[in-house]
Amino acid sequence: MAVASTFAKRSRAGRGVRERSGAAQAAQIQLTGVTKRFATPSGSLFTAVRDVDMTIEPGKFCAVVGPSGCGKSTTLTMVSGLDRPSVGTVSVGGKPVDGITAGTSFMFQSDALLPWKTVLDNVALGPVFRGVPKKEAQAQAREWVRRVHLVGFENHHPHQLSGGMRKRVSLAAALINEPSILLMDEPFGALDVQTKAMMSNELLALWEQTRPTVIFVTHDLEEAIALADQVVVMTVGPGTVKDIYDIDLPRPRGAVQEIRFDPRFLELHHHIWESLREEVERAYARTAKPASANGGQS
């Protein structure tokens, strides 16, 4: 299957182009030898991610799991073009990322909804920013509000909605541009367990309609396996790719609440958890040790 942690960039990219003709508009995402360093306020260098090689084929749903502070979010911002790698290249659809990547949508953990705009205007932002006339943008937004089951809430402001509803608005706002890649940074992390499961189902249903390439960052391994075609495990920071697993559960997957009892699911979970556990334990040891020794680094 099309899963790789590789230096063989050229051949991979070639295959990506062939596959893309089949998967409508989704784009391949490729990171090659990507390292990101930040200067800390005290002047020293902090390495967030190191030598990340990752290829995600067009239209694939890739989940990235790893302990806290392993650079998962940094990886996403580099793919979106909000930030640049210090070393290495990120390319989307065969083209190196330079500036904001066209055809990208980003979903953050906190809702990035504008509190002074109504639900409808928030969803219409994407088309409005791309220069679509307001009337038409609102018509498109109305359709997406319907798809996320928020009919009747068009004129509400975000603070009048529940957390799950705000997430659905964010989802509609992210998908209305029909992105070729969708980047999600723990989008459902702040939701309660039931709402999270409902949102996962909704995400899968919508994703299957347009099939953009997805990178989904999460802490939750069950969520990752239930949703994704491929699960990337990252090491403790500075993060790098540790293992990549193919999730061969058939699609459409149906309710995520039920798939977690599937024997194959349990097998995969057991397998990937073995890999993830080591990193989580190392991350934990790192935060626990300085506390007993000398106050930690902060």
Partner 1 sequence: MSAVPVNRSSEPVAIGDLAAAEEAAVAADVRRSTRSRRMRMWAARIGTLVIIIGGWQLLTSAKIVDPFFWGQPSGIVKQLNNWVQHGTEYGSIWEQIWVTFKEAVLGFVFGVAAGIIAGVLLGMFQFLADVASPYIKVANAIPRIALGSLFTVALGLGAPSKVALAAVLVFFVVFFNAFQGVREVDRNLLANARVLGASKLAIIRHVVVPSALTWIIASLHVAFGMAIIGAIVGEFLGAQKGLGLVIASSQNNFNPNGVFAAIFIIAVLALTAEGLIGLLERRLLSWRPRSQSEAVGA
Contact segment (CB under 8 A) with partner 1 among 56-64, 103-111, 142-150, 214-222 equals: 103-111
Total site size for partner 1, rule CB under 8 A: 26
Does 98 engage in binding with partner 1 (CB under 8 A)? no
Q: How far is CA 88 from CA 62, 224, 298, in A?
A: 21, 27, 30
Map tokens 């070729």 to a residue: 180
For residues 50 and 33, the answer to whether their CB atoms sit within 8 Å is no
* C-alpha 244: how far from chain center: 16
DSSP structural state of residue 101: P
Using CB under 8 A as the binding rule, the residues of this chain from 46 to 85 that contact partner 1 are 77, 80-82
User: Where does residue 103 fall: left (phi above 0), alpha (psi -120 to 50 degrees), or beta otherwise?
Assistant: left
Q: Which is nearer to partner 1, 203 or 268 (CB)?
A: 203
Rounded least distance, CB 129 to partner 1, Å:
4
What would you report as the CA-atom Rg of the chain, rounded to the nearest whole angstrom? 19
Rounded least distance, CB 176 to partner 1, Å:
9
Binding mask 151-180 vs partner 1 (x if CB under 8 A, - otherwise)? ------x-xx------------x---x---
The amino acid that residue 231 corresponds to is V
Q: Which is nearer to partner 1, 3 or 78 (CB)?
A: 78
Near partner 1 by CB under 8 A: residue from 24, 114, 266, 288: 114
Neighbours of 89 (CB within 10 A): 15
Contact segment (CB under 8 A) with partner 1 among 112-120, 144-152, 205-213, 218-226 equals: 112-120
Name the token pair of 204. Answer: 């899968």
DSSP structural state of residue 161: S
Q: Which residues contact partner 1 (rule: CB under 8 A)?
A: 77, 80-82, 100, 102, 104-106, 108, 110, 112, 114-117, 125-126, 128-130, 157, 159-160, 173, 177
